[in-house]
Amino acid sequence: MRIRLLPAAICLLCAFRAAPGSSRDQLELGLRTRAERFYRLHVAGDFREAEKLVCRDSRDAFYALEKRQYRSASVSSVVVSPDSKHADVVTLLEGEFAVGTGHQVITAPVPSHWRREKQGWCVELVPPGSQHGAQVVVESPMGPMTLEPPQAGSVAQPVVGLKPESVAGISSGVAFSKDTLRLKRQSRAEDSIEIRNGLPGTVRVEFDCPRLAGFSCTIDHSEIQAGATARFRAAYDPTKSGQVPGRSLYLIVQPFGRTKEIAILLE
């Protein structure tokens, strides 16, 4: 049996299929995709391509900015205005930021303002005093942070106003069960350290493991949620190497760049 659809029915089906594309979820997805591309181009250092995602009336301002290349970028939150024409995006950018009188590699939440045009979402550099955008609250390793709508230049020139002593004080909320690994000199052995995140946000632990045959380092999960713990393990098998490991290795807590020296004691 053949089923024939009348023109009116076909139109009705077209409208039904088009509905998801015009929904708020689709708008947010499209915005998130554009924002991720914009900042990935910053990671790659391709600022000419990034400029194509900037609103035309903001390109002169973008051109005049000192461009910054980041190490990584991840869109954290997207807030679309009720009229669906403007939006605020918060992106976690890892790079070298101004901290006090120096610089430090951290991951910072950076806000940007976007406008919806016919060709899609574009970055809008908001003039000083503009009322566009609302306050955005994001979670960070330091706890909830309230971000104001960005001013002109904030897209590529974020500054984190933290003093070095403040960073050190905050990062001390990450605790290590001990600072010494005890291993056997003559036989295979393993030891571990428990790392507890006492901060209200997620931290990441990296490690510098000795590049030595018979020596290995692992961590059960490098991203540690608030209040959670991770276990770092080191193993040494002297039968696989004629060398002994150095006296220490290092654990690095990000986004603070805090380095924890762990002594290696061979018994």
Domain ranges of the chain: 19-162, 170-266
Tokens 């380092």, located at residue: 217
C-beta of residue 248 within 8 angstroms of C-beta of residue 261: yes
Identify the three-state secondary structure at position 162. Answer: coil
C-beta of residue 181 within 8 angstroms of C-beta of residue 200: no
Identify the three-state secondary structure at position 17. Answer: helix
Task: Specify the CATH number for 170-266; select among 3.40.50.2030, 3.40.50.10540, 2.60.40.10, 3.40.50.460.
Answer: 2.60.40.10
One pLDDT digit (tens) per residue for the chain, 267 residues: 333 433 333 333 333 333 344 577 888 889 999 999 999 999 999 999 999 999 999 888 888 877 878 888 888 778 888 888 998 888 888 877 655 455 667 777 778 889 999 889 999 985 444 444 444 444 444 444 444 444 444 443 343 444 445 555 566 788 999 999 998 888 899 999 999 998 877 888 888 787 788 888 999 988 898 889 999 999 999 888 767 777 888 888 877 677 888 888 888
Hey, do 19-162 and 170-266 end up sharing a CATH topology, with the first three levels equal?
A: no
Residue 36 has a pLDDT of 93
C-beta of residue 254 within 8 angstroms of C-beta of residue 106: yes
Domain 19-162 = CATH 1.20.1070: no
Return the amino acid letter for 44.
Answer: A
Residue 75 has a pLDDT of 85
Residue 182 has a pLDDT of 92
Residue 169 has a pLDDT of 57
How many residues in total does the chain contain?
A: 267
Residue 192 has a pLDDT of 95
